[in-house]
Amino acid sequence: MPIDINDLNHIRPEATFYMPEGFLWGTATSSHQVEGGNNNNNWSLWENNDGHILNGDRSGDACQWWQGRWAEDFDRASESSQNAHRLSIEWSRVQPAIDQWDMEALAYYREMLKGLYDRGITPMVTLHHFSDPIWLYENGGWEWDKAPQVFEAYVRRVVEALKDYVSLWVPINEPNVYVYMGYMDSNFPPAKPGMAFAFNVMENMLKAHAAAYRAIHEIQKEARVGSCINYRAFWPKRPWLPLDKWMAGTLSHNYNDAFIGAIQNGQLQFLLRKSSLPQVKDTQDFVGINYYTADWIAFNPFMIKAFFHTREFPQGQELSETGFLANVPDGLFKALKWASRFGLPIMVTENGIEDSQDSLRPQYIVEHLQQLWRASNYNWQIKGYFHWSLVDNFEWDRGWTQRFGLWGLDIETQERIRRPSVDLYAAICKQNGLSTRLVEQYAPQVFERLYPVE
């Protein structure tokens, strides 16, 4: 019987869009946000000063990883087919004083990493994720000219202790966020605004990154060491207006390009200043991208304190529940295209959205992974994706007001709450790709947008 051509209009496409064999599918966490009981770092001081954290929240017990609950969360990751996990080491635990090393803390981290190994999960370890030991903070933090030197000493201790279980390392997470939030926006410690301070800290973090890179490779020849930048997509609100294009480009250079650009060519150009740092050139083996959202940028000569611009989320994009993020999947493609110019393997080291009700998260996941698959078809070396986060955790200056976890957390009882996105992400990890059936099941509202019939 011949097929009626009109019937084809009612057929929905079916396909699975696979990522390359050996792709890393995981989640990401950081020490201060999940461990609990961190009371010897700059954030413990910051939390105890009124007005710094929304609602006066404290990290407190966090997710009780330092009390052993990492094991059950790793079980959850394993049972949901994740084959990788990114976590961080708390510097203040390993080196509680400038002349003191805590070998028990290192042994505990070794136990955690062995736990990942035993579950068949590949670890990626970040050595600095926003928090500094109090002794470093009191010496001027990353403004201190000895900061790169003491960081290298800490890195050597950690890598020697943990190298049996780790070969993927990130020396410093989001140095651009650390600089902007601590030395320009003042929402992070030390809240010391000033372009000169910001430049000095960026310069010292680059020196520390390079020193760590060389130390890690000296200790562990097979190691792969990467930078990890928070990439924010900036588009001119009025593309026809040269001043909007110039402002978007300027913001993108200072925020996205400065740190990794210096690694590429040994020259730091940041906030109208320049510095020659030949020792930092070519000190990364992969590019880590943390991508969440994007902005429209408009030049405004009257916004002096905002450096002559306004920003807003692109119109028509869904907002997260507190309005902190917009769902802009095209921005991830822009980030991956940006990273591809460095000619190195690429890891999406963080990507996610705050959503306590898990209503937008499924859509956010599938739309962003569709852009990831699209980018992989350009033969860019995309090797892994880490969702932020495995479980709800303490979100810095925003405290407990934002819930990024696949698993929810009741901070009073420490109960983990299974959200539907757990099953969505587990299916994606298991099949190493995104299928149209998963989109239809978990995010049907965007099916035709992702897979148009006509």
pLDDT at position 453 is 74
Q: Phi first, then psi: give them for residue 261, nearest 5 degrees.
A: -65, -40
Q: Compute the CA torsion angle 444, 449, 451, 453 (nearest 10 deg).
A: 110
pLDDT at position 209 is 98
Strands (DSSP E) found in 41-112: 84-88
State mean pLDDT over 331-350.
98
State mean pLDDT over 256-265.
98
- What ranges do the domains of the chain cover? 20-432
Domain 20-432, CATH: 3.20.20.80
pLDDT at position 6 is 55
Q: If you count them, how many residues does the chain have? A: 454
Residue 175 one-letter amino acid = P
Summarised one tens digit per residue, pLDDT across range 128-142 is 999 999 999 999 999
Dist CA 187 CA 185 (whole Å)? 6
pLDDT at position 10 is 56
pLDDT at position 302 is 85
pLDDT at position 7 is 52
Q: In the structure encoding, which two tokens stand for residue 432, read together?
A: 């190493």
Q: Phi first, then psi: give them for residue 64, nearest 5 degrees.
A: 60, 35
For the chain, report the end-to-end CA distance as a whole number of angstroms: 25
Dist CA 295 CA 314 (whole Å)? 6
Q: In the structure encoding, which two tokens stand for residue 91, read together?
A: 């510097």
Q: In the structure encoding, which two tokens stand for residue 105, read together?
A: 């803390």
pLDDT at position 401 is 98
pLDDT at position 319 is 98
Triad 337, 251, 403: Cα angle to 5°: 75
Instruction: Name the pTM for this structure.
Output: 0.96
DSSP-derived secondary structure letter, 145: T
Q: Tell me the pLDDT of the chain averaged across its residues.
A: 96
Instruction: Report CA 393 to chain centroid distance, whole Å.
Output: 14
State mean pLDDT over 402-422.
98
Q: 303 pLDDT band (50/70/90 cuts)? A: confident
Q: Is the pLDDT of residue 14 over 90?
A: no
pLDDT at position 144 is 98
Q: Is the pLDDT of residue 207 over 60?
A: yes
